[in-house]
Structure 1
Amino acid sequence: MPDRVAVIIEDDADIRNLLEAILAQAGFTTHAVSEGADGVAAVRDHQPILTTLDISLPGIDGFEVARQIRHFSDTYIIILSARTEEVDTLMGLDAGADDYLTKPFRPRELRARVEAMMRRRNLYAGDGTGPGERPAGEPGAAEPATASGDGDGWLSHNGLRIHPEMRLCELDGSPVTLTRSEFDLLQAIMNGKRRVVSKDTLSLELRGDHSTGGYVSESDRRAVEVHLANVRRKLNDPVNAPRFIETVRGVGYRLATRQPQS
């Protein structure tokens, strides 16, 4: 597929060669670099759909590389690192990464995560229907919040609009830049309307796993929390007085109640 372009940012030559082989088998054209600054330039030049990123790099580290990339690209970033502490995972996701995989990793697992990402991308490009879509709002709600359709592909709620096919997000008429995972989670919640979408469901959707009862780790749930914290920050949506995303403690998330019309 001509759109399968990947950038590999990895200073270990053996791992870099392994990643090139894995991604080439998955149909990607790869561009590999060994330093952080070169990785930022490679993403800018080649506009990849996928970027793999080490944390411990010469010059600027992977966290800063991810932050810089996020200023101009929505490439799907997978951090591959020997750091196994939860704080490192959270820092990576907070910097803008979509996924975090510890070394040594299994090639099959990396390939599965990449293919899940491609399935999500193809699904949304094909029909505009996102994860977490539900046919009805929460039973018994006095005035259920809904993500209403504008008739031209947009979903709207309280001044927030997203277009699933064009992958666009606007808040009060101004564009909002979201990562792929952030957009997918927001779309899932907007499609869920006032029905609670659990962290486990959101975790499985991010993996492209639409089965029921799939295994979800605590790390998966924490990743959802971090991604949604980033969405809230970008939307200026405080947890204690939400305009868009309401947390149902111990369960998951749903759209906040509709604001009264002035």
Structure 2
Amino acid sequence: MNQSIYIVEDDANIRDIVKAYLVKEGYRVTLLKDAEEAWERAQDGQPDMWILDIMLPGMDGYELCKRIRQVSEVPIIIISAKDEEVDKILGLELGSDDYLTKPFSPRELVARIKRLFKRAEAQPVLKQATDDILRLGALEIDQAGRIVHWHDKEIDVTSKEFDMLVIFTKQPNRAFSREELLTFVWGNDYFGSDRAVDDLVKRLRKKLEHLPIETVWGYGYRLEYEEQQ
């Protein structure tokens, strides 16, 4: 095992308890008390996983999550006392892979960490198998570089927005249910509602104006495409 985990948490008691459980499981743990220190560490190299609190002094966990995701695809777990659905959706949209509400069981955290590492281990094989350019009309997706162009303009998208675009582009005109999209984009362990899908589609429609992501009422969404003759 021996994977490294950075824990960014300003509560010393929580930091120490979580570290004790993770070290017992064989992980290498680094404790950081604020986002600024964590971001400085990130410039020198990434751990195998981040665990971020939201309510941090100075820069909050959301901003740190966003910055980390811009330079790394390692798994991120957010832990927070905020238990509103909108907070969970925001964390996931900014690039986190999981969201755990305080108070939580350290054993549950360990279980989620193990699931995310298993998923990450399979990801390089997937990326290698799909290392190409997807094109659909004015939409171009570089899967290896995770870059999106729309009408020859590069569009800044989040990790989840990118994954949903790839799904739609690979199977145009297919109707996907909200449940399917939740599984494809967030994985089988997602705990929230399908409102996350609606929010993601809304963001894509705003960023890629006139991209024909159509609503299939009572079911889900599809990306409509008619090939030019």
Q: Determine the structure 2 residue equivalent to 1:14.
A: 13
Q: Measure, in 2, the Cα distance between the counterparts of 1:250 and 1:242.
A: 21
SS in 2 for 1:52: strand
Alignment of 1:225 with 2:198, yes or no, is yes
Shift of the alpha carbon at 1:198? 1.7
Bigger mean CA offset, 170-179 vs 187-196: 170-179
User: Greater helix percent: which structure?
Assistant: 2
CA displacement 1:147-190 (0-9 Å, x = unmatched): xx9xx7333222333355x3523315665555443333333333
| TM-score calculated relative to the size of structure 2 | 0.77
Alignment of 1:44 with 2:43, yes or no, is yes
Q: Determine the structure 2 residue equivalent to 1:135.
A: none
Q: Measure, in 2, the Cα distance between the counterparts of 1:257 and 1:171.
A: 17
Select the residue among 186, 197, 202 that pairs with 2:181: 202
Alignment of 1:242 with 2:211, yes or no, is yes
Structure 2: stretches of 5+ with no match in the other structure: none
Q: Measure, in 2, the Cα distance between the counterparts of 1:78 and 1:155.
A: 30
| TM-score calculated relative to the size of structure 1 | 0.69
Shift of the alpha carbon at 1:110? 3.0
Written as runs of structure 1 = structure 2, the 5 A alignment for 1:1-262 is 4-24=3-23, 28-128=27-127, 153-164=132-143, 166=144, 168-172=146-150, 176=155, 178-206=157-185, 208-209=187-188, 219-233=192-206, 236-238=207-209, 241-243=210-212, 245-258=213-226, 260=228
Question: Match of 2:137, as an amino acid?
Answer: N
Shift of the alpha carbon at 1:106? 3.0
Structure 1: stretches of 5+ with no match in the other structure: 131-148, 210-214
Q: Measure, in 2, the Cα distance between the counterparts of 1:184 and 1:159.
A: 18
* Equivalent pair of 2:32/2:38 in contact (CA under 8 Å): yes
* Equivalent pair of 1:123/1:129 in contact (CA under 8 Å): no
* Equivalent pair of 2:80/2:101 in contact (CA under 8 Å): yes
Q: Measure, in 1, the Cα distance between the counterparts of 2:53 and 2:29.
A: 16
Q: Measure, in 2, the Cα distance between the counterparts of 1:226 and 1:20.
A: 35
Q: Give percent identity, aligned residues only.
A: 35
CA RMSD of aligned residues (A): 3.4
Question: Match of 1:40, as an amino acid?
Answer: W
Bigger mean CA offset, 193-202 vs 109-118: 109-118
Paired residues, number: 228
Shift of the alpha carbon at 1:35? 0.8
Q: Measure, in 2, the Cα distance between the counterparts of 1:25 and 1:97.
A: 25
Q: Measure, in 2, the Cα distance between the counterparts of 1:231 and 1:23.
A: 37
Question: Match of 2:211, as an amino acid?
Answer: P
Q: Measure, in 1, the Cα distance between the counterparts of 2:145 and 2:112.
A: 21
Q: 1:49 to 1:195 in 2, by over 3 A?
A: farther
Question: Match of 1:224, as an amino acid?
Answer: V
* Equivalent pair of 2:65/2:96 in contact (CA under 8 Å): yes
SS in 2 for 1:8: strand
* Equivalent pair of 2:8/2:31 in contact (CA under 8 Å): yes
Query: Highest relative contact order (Cα 8 Å, sep 6+), 1 or 2?
Result: 1
CA displacement 1:196-246 (0-9 Å, x = unmatched): 22221222334543xxxxx976x332233344444445xx224xx324x33
* Equivalent pair of 2:160/2:185 in contact (CA under 8 Å): yes
Question: Match of 2:160, as an amino acid?
Answer: S
SS in 2 for 1:161: strand
